[in-house]
Amino acid sequence: MAEIRLLHQETIDKIAAGEVIERPSSVVKELVENAMDAGAAAITVEIKDGGISLIRVTDNGCGIETDQVERAFLRHSTSKIRTVEDLLCVSSLGFRGEALSSIAAIAQVELITKTASDLTGVRYVIEGSVEKEKEEIGAPDGTTFLVRNLFYNTPARLKFLKTAQTEGSAIHALMERLALSRPDISFKLIVNQQMKLQTSGNSNPKDVIFQIYGREITASLLSLEEQNDAFSVTGWIGEPFVSRGNRNFEHYFINRRYVRSNLLAKSLEEGYKPYLMQRQYPFCVLYFTFDGECIDVNVHPAKMELRFDRNEEICQKLCACVRKRLGQKELIPSVSVDRKEAKKKQAPPVLPKERLPEPFETERLKKYQKAIWQSSPYEPKYPNRPKEAALTAQPVAAAENAAADSRRQEGKAPDETAVFPAQTTQSYVQEELQYEGRFLSKEARKRHSILGQLFDTYWLVEYEEKLFIIDQHAAHEKVLYEQTVRSLKEKTQTTQMISPPLILSLDLQEEEAYHALKEQLSAFGFEIEPFGGREYAVCGVPGNFFHLNAREILMTLLDSYDGIKKDDAPAPVLEKIASLSCRAAVKGSHAMRRPEAEALIEALLELENPYFCPHGRPVIVAMDKYELEKKFKRIV
């Protein structure tokens, strides 16, 4: 056996650094989180070459006492915990006590810091865990870290880094998450001497969302607020049209810390399930508050993942509140007659040629200002939205509005790219003010004007200066789906007996699936009896779907059992059965009669979510009169 020896301290430090510092973004994360814990109101991060050659993090926090500077770079030194009990309810961000030690082990680090009570600051240089310099220096309150030549003494680690652009992108994504987590802090990110991100720190999360994701997404957000005995949550979820093909747009913050959580993602996506197509994921920025004793933050080395105490309850309540919020909004997408124009549908409207109201025209000025608030591109258009809701978004666009006012006073053409244009067209304002009722409501139904059928597939309906286009197959599919689910829940499904019975021969796996799903099949309307050996006689089929292929439905369900048997709840089984009933829906290229179309629209009125079919495709789309007038050059 080889001799057992104690490792050299330098080797120990490099091993520890390998566990804590994976790439430049790891350094930025640790230093910025320390700055946030130090009470900084402004944090600036500057990087060069993706953070490999230089990382500079400057904050205006409380600083580090002169006599504690050396101690800060020792392993397991921290100001954030004292005992093991503190680990269970820690509220700060980084608390590992190894961050500065690990960074100093594999980089050349320079620290400049000053506390408010000291007259001068201190400059401290440490390279490869070896102290180089310490001197008194003039400095502002706060702390600046300069990390140069990352992994300069561990070339094996250096060669496995990605390109400077890739490493810089990882830092950019990290800074966006940190900015969303603390909208009360002003963040700046400078990449190769170019400003890439800047937030105001005005405590308005929606301003941060606008800075990162732009106007289109910000205008499509729905506020979410929920408080129960399991958690409390505030924030925003996106309308289904903002979905993406990955989870990069899902942001979860627990007690002001960004986390990745399969539980929260699954709960949110379950709430969106009736509204999205498969393999599409929603946008969200959600701020959760949990009791510290109900979560374990020590599961992941970087504390990016947590363990929850009441998983099932959290999942059910979050799913319910998301689905409830989506149900409060009429989710009919607006489309453009021009593909190029579709990308600009969130752009400000064309400016009017009419004379603006003079300051002394009090009544006209009031109406004009009211129209401006109603047409704000930031807030969802609620019928009774308070004026204050639109006011909260103003700081973002102050500069653009000032520029527009200046151009108008100089007699120049207004800048149509302004975030909040100073003017707007009369027709656009009238349209937004009038279109307050839901298209799919009993009150609106009385004013529907059914124009006819297009391509034997789409029904055209005029309402409130909008053209609504209904996909008859998707609409009928949705009606049948929800009717089937409701009948299963209420146990009102009927059975139609057939003669002679249908004989099925099942293998071992199919027979196992049949016995597991026997109760659900009976509830759906199937009547099945043993016929000897592995053969079974289907004597009855669901009465509402008598004309469907019973053998195909049953075999599809049994073959899908492996994918749904892992869930103990019967809901996935019932949904799978109900989805098979969609085959009974009227198809495209089928000439429906007008009374049938009217009956279909009436059926849609009764649904909780009539906007998307069971597969997530839209049932209805809308086209503005404004779009058509632009196409015919009535509006230039």
Question: Per-residue pLDDT for 479 more than 60?
Answer: yes
Q: Which residue, 614, 615, 329, is CA-closest to 479?
A: 614
Q: Look at residue 414 in the predicted model and tell me its pLDDT.
A: 40
Question: Per-residue pLDDT for 521 more than 90?
Answer: no
Mean predicted confidence (pLDDT) in 410-439: 40
Q: What is the 3-state secondary structure (H, E, C) of 532-550?
A: CCCEEEEEEEEHHHCCCCH
Question: Per-residue pLDDT for 363 more than 60?
Answer: no
Q: Look at residue 299 in the predicted model and tell me its pLDDT.
A: 54
Name residue 528's beta-bridge partners: 538
Parallel/antiparallel/unpaired status of strands 121-127 and 108-114: antiparallel
pLDDT band at 570 (very low <50, low <70, confident <90, very high): low
Q: For residue 106, how far is the Cα from the chain centroid?
A: 36
Q: Look at residue 291 in the predicted model and tell me its pLDDT.
A: 78
Contact 197, 190 (CB under 8 A): no
Mean predicted confidence (pLDDT) in 221-245: 92
More confident residue, 236 or 348: 236
Q: Which residue, 44, 57, 162, is CA-closest to 112?
A: 57
List phi, psi (to 5°) of 570. -80, -10
More confident residue, 292 or 568: 292
pLDDT band at 1 (very low <50, low <70, confident <90, very high): low
Q: Look at residue 298 in the predicted model and tell me its pLDDT.
A: 56
Parallel/antiparallel/unpaired status of strands 257-259 and 121-127: unpaired
Q: What is the 3-state secondary structure (H, E, C) of 234-254?
A: EEEEECHHHCECCHHHEEEEE
Range list of H helices, 331-397: 339-342, 362-374, 387-391
Question: Per-residue pLDDT for 382 more than 90?
Answer: no
Q: Look at residue 51 in the predicted model and tell me its pLDDT.
A: 96
Distance CA(51)–CA(58), nearest Å, equals 15
The encoded tokens of residue 190 equal 């400078």
More confident residue, 487 or 109: 109
Q: Is 0.85 surpassed by the pTM of this model?
A: no
**Domains of the chain, start order:** 9-179+186-191 (3.30.565.10), 205-327 (3.30.230.10), 351-424 (no CATH), 493-584 (3.30.1370.100)
Q: Look at residue 562 in the predicted model and tell me its pLDDT.
A: 62
pLDDT band at 13 (very low <50, low <70, confident <90, very high): low
How long, in residues, is the chain?
Answer: 636
End-to-end CA distance of the chain: give it in Å, rounded: 87
pLDDT digits (tens, 9 = 90+) for 613-629: 888 889 999 998 888 88
Report the 10 Å Cβ neighbour count for 109.
24
Q: Look at residue 538 in the predicted model and tell me its pLDDT.
A: 92
Mean predicted confidence (pLDDT) in 349-363: 44
Question: How many CA atoms lie less than 13 Å away from 22 in the CB half-sphere?
Answer: 9
Kindly report which listed range (76-80, 184-188, 250-254, 500-504) carries the lowest average pLDDT score.
76-80
Parallel/antiparallel/unpaired status of strands 250-254 and 284-289: parallel
Q: Look at residue 89 in the predicted model and tell me its pLDDT.
A: 54
Contact 388, 378 (CB under 8 A): no
Distance CA(32)–CA(57), nearest Å, equals 7
Contact 297, 303 (CB under 8 A): yes
Q: Look at residue 157 in the predicted model and tell me its pLDDT.
A: 87
pLDDT digits (tens, 9 = 90+) for 25-64: 999 999 999 999 999 999 999 999 999 999 999 999 999 9
Kindly report which listed range (76-85, 126-135, 383-392) carries the lowest average pLDDT score.
383-392
CA distances from 362 to 243, 365, 423, 605 (A): 44, 5, 17, 43
Distance CA(476)–CA(459), nearest Å, equals 12
List phi, psi (to 5°) of 504. -115, 135
Contact 236, 222 (CB under 8 A): yes
Distance CA(585)–CA(569), nearest Å, equals 27
Vertex 252 angle, CA 249 and 256, to 5°: 135
Q: Look at residue 405 in the predicted model and tell me its pLDDT.
A: 47
The one-letter amino acid code at 594 reads: R
Average pLDDT, the chain: 78
Contact 108, 147 (CB under 8 A): yes
Q: Which residue, 89, 92, 61, is CA-closest to 79?
A: 92
